[in-house]
Amino acid sequence: MNSTILIVDDNAGSREALESILGGQNYTLQMAEDGLQALEKADTLHPDLILLDVMMPDMDGFEVCRRLRSTPGLAEVPIILLTALDDTASRLEGIESGADDFISKPFNRQELRARVRTITRLNRYHTLLEQRESLREMAQRMVTGLEDERMRISRELHDELGQLLTAQLMDIRDLQNDLTIPPVVLFERLEKIHNQAYEVTVKIRRLAHELRPPLLSTLGLKQAIEVHCSKFSSHSHIPITVEVDDEVAQLPDVYGIILYRVLQEALTNIAKHANAKRVWVELSLEDDLINLIVQDDGRGMPEADKTVSGIGIVGMTERVALVGGELGIRSGKNGGTILSASLPLKPGTIHKREEA
Ligand SMILES: Nc1ncnc2c1ncn2[C@@H]1O[C@H](COP(=O)(O)OP(=O)(O)OP(=O)(O)O)[C@@H](O)[C@H]1O
Ligand SMILES: [Mg+2]
């Protein structure tokens, strides 16, 4: 991936000189002509390095540096000050305003290239370390999640199914010990045992469904989504519009499970929290990207809610991240919530059908 470098200088000649020194070396170069433009561009581009002229009208490089350092998300960006000033006082002010390094004008081509290369490499290393740390945390949460899930299943097997079956065994034994019971009473007691046995089968079926969605294995992703959505709609009484690209049938298994689980949680959240009147689900394939969108017209989701203690959103984010994808949650134009999961695909996974 190219490093983006933001060059900030009011002098067109200096900008061109820097462009000629750093051009053609796998950097994406962006220019700003004054301090304000620099702050705006830094905010939108999030560059990997800023080369910042000191002497500029209106807002000098020191001030730009101070402002960048107090902006969340930009406080860590490496900044090299470009200065004709070689005096200690200016360098001191540069350090105090948060610069990482200095390069004197006129530029020495080799020195400039070497400094820029070192800083961009270090920055990339730093980013890699951060990514590794967040992957480690994610793996930890997944292991804990797995253990919690096992505990829940074990509790359900032991406390619920175990107790129901024990009660039935005792009832059957009771009947065996008293074969003189009148038929009416016998009928009632057998009816009770029958109902309990039925309850056990329902619980077992539910547990099995939770472990692996059977719809997905038997019907494939497209139909599984359609059936799930229509069940959701009949339980919640919220009309739902579903559009699924036919080509999703070619997706590898792991994508199907991730998308299906995200859809389940998104719809559960809508039923629990949104107070929606309508829901739209769309799963589409676009080049090498799969997009799942679940939109509702409900109460919307305040920013603060995205970080509440529920495990639904965290779980969706982590599932999607497993294949390098991203989960986004934003407000709809007319209110409501739009949840999107974008999963990148290896090029060539999907063969688009030729248009007739
Ligand atoms: N579609 C939605 N509309 C409005 N608010 C939502 C919607 N989806 C989620 N929320 C809000 O976001 C919060 C976090 O959702 P999340 O799924 O992480 O947790 P939860 O549903 O509260 O609990 P859990 O999923 O762990 O059972 C919810 O508590 C709710 O306030
Ligand atoms: Mg939830």
Q: What is the mean pLDDT of each run of 10 residues along the chain (356 residues)?
A: 89 93 91 95 92 92 94 87 77 88 86 90 77 78 76 81 88 89 92 92 82 78 94 94 92 88 93 94 92 96 67 86 89 90 83 58
Residue of 305, 319, 329 to mutate, ligand 1, most atoms within 8 A of C-beta: 305
The class of domain 219-344 in CATH terms is alpha beta
Length of the chain: 356
Amino acid at 237: H
Question: Can you tell me which atom of ligand 1 is nearest the CA of 298?
Answer: 3
Give the number of whichever ligand sits closest to the CA of residue 301: 1
CB 315 near ligand 1, within 6 Å: no
CB 38 near ligand 1, within 6 Å: no
C-alpha to C-alpha distance for 55 and 84, rounded to whole angstroms? 9
Print the SS3 string covering 129-154: HHHHHHHHHHHHHHHHHHHHHHHHHH
CB 332 near ligand 1, within 6 Å: no
Distance 178 CA to ligand 1 centre (A): 54
Task: Place domain 3-107 in its CATH homologous superfamily.
Answer: Response regulator (3.40.50.2300)
Q: Extract the tokens encoding 321.
A: 């991240």
- Chain-centre distance of CA 69, in angstroms? 27
Residue of 141, 236, 269, 317 to mutate, ligand 1, most atoms within 8 A of C-beta: 269
Domain locations along the chain: 3-107, 136-211, 219-344
**Phi, psi (rounded to 5 degrees) for 36:** -65, -45
Atom 11 of ligand 1, residue of closest alpha carbon: 305
Q: What pLDDT is attached to residue 182?
A: 92
CB of 168 closer than 8 Å to CB of 196: yes
Q: What pLDDT is attached to residue 10?
A: 94
Helix/strand/coil for 71 = coil
Q: What pLDDT is attached to residue 217?
A: 77
Atom 1 of ligand 1, residue of closest alpha carbon: 270
Q: Which residues contact 56 (CB under 8 A, 6 or more apart)?
A: 8, 9, 10, 34, 35, 64
Distance set, CA 155 to CA 25, 150, 196, 210, 315 (Å) = 60, 8, 19, 15, 22
The tens digit of pLDDT for each residue in 12-27 reads: 999 999 999 999 888 9
